[in-house]
Amino acid sequence: MDRALLWVLLPLVTVAWGQYGDYGYPYQQYHDYSDDGWVNLNRQGFSYQCPHGQVVVAVRSIFNKNEGSDRQWNYACMPTPQNLGEPTECWWEEINRAGMEWYQTCSNNGLVAGFQSRYFESVLDREWQFYCCRYGKRCPYSCWLTTEYPGHYGEEMDMISYNYDYYMRGATTTFSAVERDRQWKFIMCQMTDYDCEFANV
């Protein structure tokens, strides 16, 4: 299926999930953006946060070797189900340095609700931070890694979470010193329907 078509259909899928999802309540449409609504220009820092009570469900990016081997980024958010409740606290995680490989999940069993990034000309790469939100004392389980996004360095990146009851908790990335680009694997988890006593799973 054409990737552009997927980005057009995502709002319809979101509405359908809300109307016919397992939880029997209407989702509001996710925080939308247009095709040209990149959150940054090349070589420019940015800070993106989902609206309160929403989490990141899609990540889109294009690479430009002629503009500092940098990427423009775009995100989509969707409200969490009512049985998860409201976020009890949100915070920015520690910085993941430019030019390095890294692995990070939200602490305190948090879910990813935003990204912040700054570009460094000296390494032609970005540092990254996750904006995380915790939902009561809910705990993650059945976690898994997505495939690599993009599939090859320098390609367009389109990651959409099709699993209604899985949430983004973090990512692991590899960095190519030759291509000056990153590949991402996102950490996706289900969340318990009950409070648990583990502070950080």
Residue 114's pLDDT is: 98
How many CB atoms neighbour CB 177 within 10 A? 10
Q: Per the domain annotation, does 39 fall within a domain?
A: no
Residue type, 127: E
Residue 194's pLDDT is: 87
Print the domain residue range for 143: 46-195
Strands, sheet with 167-176, edge to edge from the N-terminal-most edge strand: 102-105, 167-176, 181-191, 140-145
Q: Per the domain annotation, does 24 fall within a domain?
A: no
Residue 36's pLDDT is: 60
Q: Per the domain annotation, does 6 fall within a domain?
A: no
Q: Per the domain annotation, does 67 fall within a domain?
A: yes
Number of domains in the chain: 1
Q: Which residues are within 8 A (CB) of 188 and not within 5 positions of it... i.e. 6 or more apart?
A: 143, 144, 145, 146, 161, 163, 166, 167, 168, 169
Q: Per the domain annotation, does 41 fall within a domain?
A: no
- pLDDT beneath 70: ranges in the chain: 1-36, 199-201
Q: Per the domain annotation, does 33 fall within a domain?
A: no
Say what the pTM is: 0.81
